[in-house]
Amino acid sequence: MPQRRRPSLNSPLSDQEVAALTQLANGNALHLQRKAEREARLASTLTLHSAASTTETPLSGMKILMISDVYFPRVNGVSTSIASFRSALERLGHTVMLICPDYPVGQVDEPGVLRIRSRQVPGDPEDRMMRYRDLIALAPQLAAEAFDLIHVHTPFTAHYAGVALGRRLGLPVVATYHTLFEEYVHHYIRWLPRRWLRLAARRLSVRQCQQLDALVAPSRAMQEALTRYGVTTPSTVIPTGLSLESFCHPQGTQDDSDFRAHYDLPTDARLLLYVGRAAFEKNIDFLIDMLPKVLAEHPNTRLIITGEGPAHDWLVRRAQEVGVAESVLFLGYLNRSGPLQAAYRAADVFVFASRTETQGLVLLEAMALGTPVVSTAMMGTLDVLKEGEGCLIAEDNHDDFTTKVNCLLSDEDLRQQLAESAQVYAASWHEDAKSAELMSLYRRLAAERLANTRK
């Protein structure tokens, strides 16, 4: 009996496959939203029964106010998460307004996004700082919008203004704890002992989390870390989902040959890809340090590092010190409307070794485009990665990581098998399903708020 022909390695999902997987994901999202509405009705009925109230909790579209210290054109996981949840919540019939800083370059006006005048953060050319007083001055305007709750995404001006606005407007405030700051701060404040900085970061996190009505953790590992700190605010694990259709089929997508030709890469070169900020905490030097052992077996390999950040110059020097500078290509940020997808599709293996990731959306992006992954599984990536489901999980050492990479580069059948399973697995993380989980939390908080106002 003839065997079924496999699709080519790293080939994108067909329109029919995308439609089928999206229908499944949307069905899950609709189920979760209806479940959330039933739970909200039940909570409202049970709480208000003793007061003999006949007024139902409003369960149609909710109005959500999001506040963040970062958003596009600043490219990072927080910006991506906000954009994902906003678009999915609006598809589910809800209204979301985002308050965020303005940026002097690359900013694009969007409906429902209110940009606040900002200034540069000292020593950080990528980020901007909003003025607290400008946010608080919006209180009368925001009160007229009749929001149901406030969702804060960052712990700086946005956090303190969000908590203050919640009190003034009588709204519950929920925040997503996106970043494990104790593992980041020592890279930027080098003149103080790391132990002091970790302790200060933990205490600040506890103090801020205790000011909230609820917390969202993007992974179980993050939730467990907050519990160890001593945070008692109720928390829910809700990862960011993937916009399968728009990410896999953006306008102007390049094909693999265009990518290689554009960067003068040999057609037979083996490509390892990293996508993310060029930051110290991303452990990119680990990938550079393990590269000589890959080159020993596959001398035509190239390690492609995309993204920008404070560690860029240091990583360039590290590649020179290790003797692999000619095999490492630093590309900077790639546009998400074609060039980034072309890089994913051109790569033979996606490599990742961050020890502090709260989720690892780039792992899902790689798998959605059929690129097998070799990664360590620590913190948030523990929730994302499943051995054999589009990936090989490596131990946190150069020998095992290199063995996994070389295995994939040498075994065409294994790479093909992981490429196929990767696309199916990534589809299960559709953003509509994850947003429906978030809506369940929103409805519970809104029902509790309504019950408290009627006591």
In words, the CATH class of domain 53-241+431-453 is alpha beta
Output the CA torsion 248→249→254→260 (10° steps): 10
Ranges in the chain, pLDDT < 50: 1-10, 26-29, 31, 40-59, 186-187
CA distance 302 to 310: 22
The SS3 of residue 374 is strand
**pLDDT at residue 19, rounded to an integer:** 53
Fold agreement (53-241+431-453, 245-427) = yes
Ramachandran class of 377: left when φ > 0, alpha when ψ lies in -120 to 50, beta otherwise: beta
Q: Return the bridge partners of 378, or none.
A: none
Pairing of strands 149-152, 173-176: parallel
Question: How does pLDDT run across 19-73, given as a tens digit for each residue?
Answer: 555 555 544 445 455 555 555 444 443 333 333 333 334 446 999 999 999 999 9
Q: Is the pTM of this model over 0.75?
A: no
Classify residue 133 by its DSSP letter: H
Question: What's the 3-state SS for 259-270?
Answer: HHHHCCCCCCCE
Q: What is the residue extent of each domain of the chain?
A: 53-241+431-453, 245-427
CA distance 311 to 326: 19
Q: What is the distance between the terminal CA atoms of the chain, rounded to a whole angstrom?
A: 72
CATH architecture for segment(s) 245-427 = 3-Layer(aba) Sandwich (3.40)
